[in-house]
Amino acid sequence: MEVEGLDDNLNKQLMRMKDFSKNTNLISELEKQLHSFQDSVKSTHENELRKMSKDKKKYKLLKEQLKDVQKLLCSHQINAEKIQTKISGLHEKERALDFNLIELNSLTLKKQGKIG
């Protein structure tokens, strides 16, 4: 009877040792997976930082290009306004010349005696 109890006790201890071994192996495997995951996250993070640095440089370049384009557009707008002012001045001169031409024609006709 004592031998049976001893066998049961040894079997239980053996089962616990096997379970402990399985758990130890499982923990070891999980630690490997964790390290692999951490390495992957670190690599991804480093890649994202490099990409952000490149994107930041592109952003700065595009921002400078936008400023240059805005300056150019402003310059063209100022030039267009100057041209429009000159065109308006030419239209005024044209109207004045038309008026002078009408008066000249009128005087010419009067001189020729065609208008009373």
Rounded Cα distance between 96 and 15, Å, is 116
Q: Span 88-109, mean pLDDT?
A: 92
What confidence score (pLDDT) does residue 1 get?
A: 47
pLDDT tens digits for range 30-41: 999 999 999 999
For the chain, what is the largest distance between any 2 Cα atoms, rounded to a whole number of angstroms? 160
- What is 20-86 written as a DSSP string? HHHHHHHHHHHHHHHHHHHHHHHHHHHHHHHHHHHHHHHHHHHHHHHHHHHHHHHHHHHHHHHHHHH
Rounded Cα distance between 79 and 77, Å, is 5
| Mean pLDDT across the chain | 89
pLDDT tens digits for range 45-93: 999 989 998 999 999 999 999 999 999 999 999 899 999 999 999 999 9
Rounded Cα distance between 112 and 106, Å, is 10
pTM of the model: 0.45
Rounded Cα distance between 103 and 86, Å, is 25
What letter would DSSP give residue 112? T
> Which residues, in sequence order, are CB contacts of 97 under 8 Å at separation 6+?
none
